[in-house]
Amino acid sequence: MIYRTDYHIHSSFSDGRAAPEDYIAPAVAAGLREIGFAEHLTLFRGPLDWSMDASGVEPYLKHIDNLSRNVSGIRIRTGLEVDFSPGIIKEIHALLSKSKLDYTIGAVHYLGDSTVDMGPEFYDGKDIDTLWEDYFNHVVAAAASGLFDIIAHCDLIRIYGFRPSSDPEKLYRNLAASFKMHDVAFEVNTNGRNRPIGDFYPDRKYLSIFREENVPVCVNSDAHMPSRVAQYFDEAYDLLKRAGYSEMAVFKNRERFMIPF
């Protein structure tokens, strides 16, 4: 069986619906060799019901460390899905550098004070071309920050189906080039299928662009409940193969290794 990983899992430490323990059996059943938790971490946004703040990190890491000592048959990895904001790079760096992690996932959910994925109202009265450009610029800045090993759902701005007035291919080319330049991986995030857009992130149409730039890739479920671990992975790997990919990135102690699939 091919070596599969799922590095983007949310448990009750952020907005997942179950304890980390509850994800292990479904992960083993799905044939995963590694499962990695990546709880939301959002700094300086006040208390949020969907994300940890800095004080949540240590108890979370301890819990996962304990869990991994008591589980066999699958490797458990530890990550964080960190909200990127250009103004707090130093603060994020300080926290990440003292935390024992296998990988960090950088995510852009916020444009300004609002998140792009909490409801379609965000898009009301806004210029969609500008929003797309703004979103992609933030993702490029996240990749360039040096904080992250993986970038999450790199075109989340698609979520409600608002499209720019012309083909955004150039935005994807620029994104892929910056991922390559800053040596970060991207993910095929299968959870988009469960969201209003109804398909993976990024747009499958542009996967070959990431391949042309030779950007390392992971397949992640972004599961918020155990039944969604490794969901739609056969289809995601198939898409990647058709785009020309034959290997994927795995992580341990913030080091990346490539494994064929």
Site residues for Zn ion per CB under 5 A: 81, 107, 152, 222
The distance of closest approach from Cβ of residue 155 to Zn ion in the complex, given in angstroms and rounded to an integer, is 12
The distance of closest approach from Cβ of residue 86 to Zn ion in the complex, given in angstroms and rounded to an integer, is 17
The CA distance from 187 to 240, in Å, is 11
The distance of closest approach from Cβ of residue 38 to Zn ion in the complex, given in angstroms and rounded to an integer, is 6
Length of the chain: 261
Q: How far is CA 175 from CA 186, 199, 207, in A?
A: 10, 19, 12
Beta strands 110-111 and 114-115 are antiparallel
CB nearer to Zn ion: give 45 or 173. 45
The alpha-carbon radius of gyration of the chain (Å, integer) is 17
CB nearer to Zn ion: give 152 or 175. 152
The CA distance from 43 to 30, in Å, is 34
CB nearer to Zn ion: give 52 or 152. 152
The distance of closest approach from Cβ of residue 153 to Zn ion in the complex, given in angstroms and rounded to an integer, is 6
Contacts of 84 (CB under 8 A, 6+ apart): 92, 106, 107, 108, 138, 141, 142, 145, 147, 148
CB nearer to Zn ion: give 161 or 244. 161
CB nearer to Zn ion: give 82 or 176. 82
Contacts of 194 (CB under 8 A, 6+ apart): 228, 231
The distance of closest approach from Cβ of residue 224 to Zn ion in the complex, given in angstroms and rounded to an integer, is 8
CB nearer to Zn ion: give 81 or 102. 81
Closest residue by Cα to residue 71 from 137, 113, 27: 27
The distance of closest approach from Cβ of residue 108 to Zn ion in the complex, given in angstroms and rounded to an integer, is 9
